[in-house]
């Protein structure tokens, strides 16, 4: 299914199951295919909504400069189109950055928040330079070349070769211009640390024990700044915990949704 965002983007999404709505925001440079297990195992309990962020998966690219606020506006437009006032939002990596952008734009739309393998801080100068270099690489050599460079750092060393091949194919299928646009948007994102102490909905911070990009120490610092949040470290998972260790990730997500449900009674 597709919607048109007020920003001009066409957003493809999956909407399955019934119950309290949960919006799943995928990591870079992937698509909603990241959530394949969540979309097949949790739908008997919750309404699972997984957009392909603009330019990724089946959402066509937008040939204009864009910020993470644009991606957030797309998600809010999707909620509007589906008649959803509040949802649990689960953001992994780049999806977490977009969740913070939604918090800045429309905090009333978030009823609960799962922040997985992400960070609240802005990029360092070194990180910005790396993103700019990767944007040049993907435009010069293509999406597969960038995926080959990035994937070793996204997964735990013990990840199966079949999973590595699957994620390589997902990333390689995304248009280079969409990947480059997302890299520049992430590099320009503001620091969201000041938001953490203001969050008043149930929050769970999830991180893979072997995540080297947003390590458990950084995730714990974020958790400690969010009042009443819960902290889950998933053994054997790297940066893409939702697909590397889906059973443990699903348990953390389901527990969060149940807390939200209990608070709304």
pLDDT digits (tens, 9 = 90+) for 118-176: 999 999 999 999 999 999 999 999 999 999 999 999 999 999 999 999 999 999 999 99
pLDDT digits (tens, 9 = 90+) for 188-209: 999 999 999 999 999 999 999 9
What contacts 150, CB < 8 A, 6 or more positions away? 29, 134, 171
Cα separation, 124 vs 193, whole angstroms = 14
- Report the predicted TM-score, pTM, of the whole model to 2 decimal places: 0.96
Give the three-class secondary structure for 18.
coil
pLDDT top residue among 213 and 65: 213
Number of alpha carbons in the 13 Å side-chain half-sphere of residue 59: 31
Phi first, then psi, for residue 57 (nearest 5°) are 60, -125
CB 134 within 8 A of CB 128: no
pLDDT digits (tens, 9 = 90+) for 44-53: 999 999 999 9
- What percent of the chain lies above the pLDDT cut of 70? 99
What band does 3 get if pLDDT is binned at 50, 70 and 90? Answer: confident
Cα separation, 21 vs 45, whole angstroms = 10
CB 145 within 8 A of CB 137: yes
């Amino acid at each position: 299914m597709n919607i048109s965002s007020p920003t001009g983007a066409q957003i493809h999404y999956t909407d399955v199951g019934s119950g309290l709505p949960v919006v799943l925001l995928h990591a870079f440079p992937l698509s909603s295919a990241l959530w394949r297990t969540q979309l097949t195992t949790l739908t008997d309990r919750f309404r699972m909504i997984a957009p392909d962020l603009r330019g990724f998966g089946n959402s066509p690219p937008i040939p204009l400069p864009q910020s993470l606020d644009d991606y957030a506006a797309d998600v809010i437009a999707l909620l509007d189109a589906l008649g959803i006032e509040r949802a649990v939002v689960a953001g992994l990596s780049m999806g977490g950055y977009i969740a913070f952008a939604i918090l800045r734009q429309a905090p009333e739309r978030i009823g609960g928040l799962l922040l997985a393998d992400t960070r609240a801080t802005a990029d360092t100068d070194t990180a910005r330079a790396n993103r700019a270099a990767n944007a040049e690489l993907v435009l010069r050599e293509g999406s597969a070349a960038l995926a080959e460079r990035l994937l070793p750092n996204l997964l735990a060393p013990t990840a199966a070769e079949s999973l590595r091949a699957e994620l390589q194919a997902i990333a390689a299928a995304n248009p280079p211009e969409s990947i480059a646009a997302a890299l520049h948007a992430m590099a320009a994102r503001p620091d969201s640390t000041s938001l953490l102490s203001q969050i008043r909905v149930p929050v769970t911070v999830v991180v893979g024990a072997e995540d080297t990009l947003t390590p458990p120490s950084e995730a714990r610092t974020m958790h400690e700044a969010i009042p009443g949040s819960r902290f889950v470290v998933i053994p054997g998972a790297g940066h893409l915990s939702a697909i590397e260790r889906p059973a443990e990730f699903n348990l953390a997500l389901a527990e969060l949704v149940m807390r939200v449900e209990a608070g709304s009674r």
